Chains A and B, each alone.
Chain A
Amino acid sequence: MNLWRDIKGTFQPFWITLGYLFKKPVTIQYPEEKRIPPPRYRARIVLTRDPDGNERCVACHLCSAACPVDCISMQAAEDEHGRRYAAWFRLNFSRCIFCGLCTEACPTMAIQTTPDYEICNRNILKLVHEKEDLLVDGCGKDETYNFYEHSGIGVVNERGGNEDEYGPVDPKSLMP
């Protein structure tokens, strides 16, 4: 019987609305009141440092290659210890879709998403973040990982000084 369905359909929404009059509201009075998202929320992207306080980013270009909207650009350079780092690193938040693929691609845990979602700006150029805007003091989500301790090319430790290596061999040795 369609008539019964129509009457129910007319009154049930009013009933539900009426019910909410007696419940605590879920709406938050943003910006006076702010919600704290979970720690793994994907908002503002930062560049973190390793436990020794050095930049983690080695400018390997994997994040920019993974980025589906091409919002990351950088230039790699080398310092006097042989450490590869980003001479400049630019992330265009006006283009970023916060998909988090860059953090998945990052082999050094350098690029990470944070729960800080308040990055809106009327001036679009202020949404283009340079390295100094992105770099934070701290390790972010992984507090122990230091890429160069595992890389096997001797930047933070002597060559062959990492835990899974043995020291440089002597190619001129005659030992069997």
Chain B
Amino acid sequence: MPKLIIDNLEVTVPEGTNVLEAARKLDIVIPHFCYHKALGAVGSCRLCAMMFLEGPVSGVQMACMIPAQDGMVIATNDPEAVELREHVIEWAMTNHPHDCPVCDEGGECQLQEMTVAGGHAVRRYTGPKCTFTNQDLGPFVQQEMNRCITCYRCVRTYRDYCGGEDYGVFGSRNRVFFGRVEEGPLESFFAGNIIDACPTGVLTNKPFRFKSRSWDLQEAPSICPHCSLGCAVIPGGRYRELQRIRAGVNETTNGFFICDRGRFGYDHVNHPERPREPRIDGQPASMAETLAAVRTRVQDLVQKHGPAAVAFLGSSRASFEANALLREWATQVGSPHLVFEAHQGRDRAARVLAARLGEHARSLEDVRQSDLIVLCGADPLAEGPMLALAIRQAARNGAQVVVIDPRSVKLPCSATRLPLASGRLPEVLKALSQKDLSAFSRQERSVLDGLAAQLESARQPILIGAADLLAEAGVTALCAAATKLSTPERPVGAMVLLSGPNSYGGAMLTGAADDFDTVLDAIQEGRIHALVCLSSDPFREAMAPARAQAALGHLELLVTIDSTPTLAAQRADIFLPARASAEMAGSYVNNEGRMQAFLPVLNPGLPISQTGAGNHPPREFFLQTPGSEPEEDWLILAQLLESASDLATIRQRLASSDQRFTELPAIAPETPGIRMSGSGQLPPAPPSELPHCTPSDTLTLLAVSAPLGSHWLAHLSAPLAAQEPQPYVCLHPEQAKELGLNAGDRARLITHLGHCHVVVKIDEMMVSGQVMAPQLMNTALEGMLPGSVLDCRLEREVQV
């Protein structure tokens, strides 16, 4: 632990910390461009020059390049160092254009700040400035190369950290250019991070282009609602519109970066069709009337048919507090029907995980530190993109990555791959834990033998799965394998990607209740008369959508609380508008059981871009902001329960009622969050499945989620919706050859859900015998619920 003195203040830092970080510990800001904690130091910008007065090094040195050592005495404001920094800024500014007024970075530009701080106000260099031709880098990133100061942070982020390969640096001397070999959209799913990384306005946010100045934005720390990882984000809104999201910092989860789905998936908050007013039987009503109507109608039904006539459906995208209050409501009514996920497979997988994960829980930071990562049935880019980035960091540090999956899982790092049919995933996990690989072919064993040996020797191995493909059996096998392979001195970690930001929280709240399919049966049979849906859409998400739609038609009362235009919201008898996560305070429990709090960014209301139709705000005045009726989901439920309606009291009550949530009142935004203690309950045994006989001439179709197109909130966000792929299927070359299909062919996909037109993609890493189709909202593949396995036929379509 070296001890050093910076500006007459003494500080002790861990071994290996550089002087710049040591100064940051003392709240001394040392100016810098190229240094970034996640990217490391390269010492290329020369801005962090400090005077080293005493100790092992002396003279003016770069603070980011010098590890802190005992006995160092450093002055940040030594005249010699200050003068050098002034010159460095002046050099950086020689070619910088004079366009701050039209640059989106203005207001949050490090170059602007450093120029002002360095006192550079008068331009002494009178020669011409060098210019560049820009490239179109796709729908998310806007390039203006003239502004570049060649700090190399973008390439270090894009290539080194994110593993993208299509962006780099070209040229020599003052022709250094950052871009692609040829103009085109950036391929990496983490491309948006170069926007945050760029210290000036070379790379800016394209969907946010010219929308607002940073100083006008309302910002607050929030949690990303797009997957179960719970990354820290900082959304920004203005004029009642959520306009952008940038990465927050949580070194335990996402670190410093986020994925493009999180970054550009803000627009669901502003969706033009978002239902914003309470409705009773299709007629607008006031919030108070609507709440009263829910109370009386539910009460009437309970009196008429008994408490079991009301079912409650929570959600993985509602706040944890709201889900907990829903459980309270169910208990109060006395109904045994309380489910937190309409998708049966995901629900059961999450509940098994909550019951069995225990000590094996690992955070993304643990993944980054791991030395052996086994991905079994998980496709991080689709199901939890930041996991892919965490795996890459582990791989960069020498970790082995093994992928066992029927799909060709895209990762930003190299991996050992074993294509295996989805049904065999639990089997392989069991075999690995029992060290008995006799059931596998010689080819498969060549990979699995190596893996088994690595599992023995690895220091911090982590088994990673996902709820969709592993399902209940797979998650059970994964947790069992982690337990079996663990030794007291070498615990094995486990991580399972779930469907939503609060899946784990919902699973912890569920008791031993039945799953949603049982509820659907009861509705069909007339035993359940009312359903309360909290931010979920059983019409779309239940395992068999056609059956769900038929059953839900029998309901006497459907109450929906939601912030998005779902089918359940459209068809609800009583609808209560809720706020989106960026509009309220609350908490989510991520897939490792970490409770994380978020704060409201803006109040709900119709965006001025919509009320003004692109022109100035209308000259109409109301006592209430148009579209401001949505309330926090927990507030709606607290009002329905007629109980305390402030967040602190709700959290306090939850903590005192359930031992597992004792830490809930202690969570705060902008902290790493607190992991829940205790575990959930296992779901009741699944009904025995009828033996399935595959008709001849059919293939097995594996429905999975895609990075874009399968996620409801992302689908409602215009910048992402525009990038959703056309319906496609992916299959192994041999399979394609058998069917007479070539890559790019149009084909007809026939399943029991109907038939649709798809484009054929061929991938060598697909398992032979299974066809993969992504669920894509608003296309013919919408009904392909991730995790379902169907029989299908593929016919080539002749082009006319």
Q: Is A150 an interface residue (CB 8 A)?
A: yes
Q: Count A interface residues, CB 8 Å.
A: 41
Q: Is A80 an interface residue (CB 8 A)?
A: no
Q: Write the residues of chain B forming the contact surface with A, with a CB cutoff of 8 angstroms.
A: 97-102, 106, 128-134, 144, 146, 170-177, 179, 209-211, 213, 215-216, 239, 608-609, 612, 614-617, 619
Option from A107, A154, A159, A171 in Cβ contact (under 8 Å) with B171? A171
Q: Which of A71-92 contact B (CB under 8 A)?
A: 75-78, 84, 87-90
A116 to B796, CA, bound (A): 75
Closest to A60 in B: B101
Residues in A whose Cβ lies below 8 Å from that of B132: 159, 168-169, 171
Residues in B whose Cβ lies below 8 Å from that of A13: none
Q: Is A166 an interface residue (CB 8 A)?
A: yes
- Known contacts A59-B210, A172-B170: A88-B128 contact under CB 8 Å: no
Q: Are A153 and B144 in contact (CB under 8 A)?
A: yes
Q: Are B170 and A65 in contact (CB under 8 A)?
A: no
Option from B98, B131, B614, B615 in Cβ contact (under 8 Å) with A169? B131
Q: Are B101 and A159 in contact (CB under 8 A)?
A: no
Q: How far is the CB of A131 from chain B (nearest CB, A)?
A: 7
- Known contacts A169-B175, A171-B176: A78-B128 contact under CB 8 Å: no
Residues in A whose Cβ lies below 8 Å from that of B100: 60, 107
Q: How far is the CB of A166 from chain B (nearest CB, A)?
A: 5
Q: How far is the CB of A168 from chain B (nearest CB, A)?
A: 4
Q: Are B101 and A152 in contact (CB under 8 A)?
A: no
Option from A64, A78, A87, A169 in Cβ contact (under 8 Å) with B209? A78
Option from B102, B106, B210 in Cβ contact (under 8 Å) with A153? B102
Option from A59, A75, A128 in Cβ contact (under 8 Å) with B619? A128
Q: How far is the CB of A72 from chain B (nearest CB, A)?
A: 11
Residues in A whose Cβ lies below 8 Å from that of B211: 75-76
Option from A84, A168, A171 in Cβ contact (under 8 Å) with B210? A84
Q: Is A170 an interface residue (CB 8 A)?
A: yes
Closest to B128 in A: A166
Q: Are B210 and A76 in contact (CB under 8 A)?
A: yes
Most buried by A among B98, B170, B211, B215: B98
Q: Are A152 and B106 in contact (CB under 8 A)?
A: no
Residues in A whose Cβ lies below 8 Å from that of B175: 169-171, 173
Closest to B144 in A: A153
A117 to B388, CA, bound (A): 63
17 sample A-B contacts, Cβ–Cβ < 8 Å, listed by A number: A75-B211, A76-B210, A84-B101, A87-B614, A88-B616, A89-B616, A151-B97, A151-B101, A152-B98, A152-B99, A153-B99, A159-B132, A166-B131, A169-B130, A169-B131, A169-B175, A173-B171
Residues in A whose Cβ lies below 8 Å from that of B130: 165-166, 169
Q: Are B131 and A152 in contact (CB under 8 A)?
A: yes
Q: How far is the CB of A125 from chain B (nearest CB, A)?
A: 6
Closest to B171 in A: A171
Residues in A whose Cβ lies below 8 Å from that of B171: 169, 171-173
Q: Are A154 and B131 in contact (CB under 8 A)?
A: yes
Residues in B whose Cβ lies below 8 Å from that of A128: 619
Q: Which of A9-30 contact B (CB under 8 A)?
A: none
Q: Which of A89-121 contact B (CB under 8 A)?
A: 89-90, 107-108
Q: Are A58 and B128 in contact (CB under 8 A)?
A: no
Closest to A150 in B: B98
Most buried by A among B129, B134, B210, B612: B210
Q: How far is the CB of A60 from chain B (nearest CB, A)?
A: 4
A160 to B213, CA, bound (A): 27
A154 to B145, CA, bound (A): 12
Q: Are B617 and A90 in contact (CB under 8 A)?
A: yes
Q: Is A42 an interface residue (CB 8 A)?
A: no
Closest to B616 in A: A88
Closest to A164 in B: B128
Q: Are A169 and B174 in contact (CB under 8 A)?
A: yes
Closest to A62 in B: B101
Q: Is A167 an interface residue (CB 8 A)?
A: yes
Q: Are A108 and B128 in contact (CB under 8 A)?
A: no
- Known contacts A152-B146, A153-B144, A171-B171: A160-B210 contact under CB 8 Å: no
Q: Is A145 an interface residue (CB 8 A)?
A: no
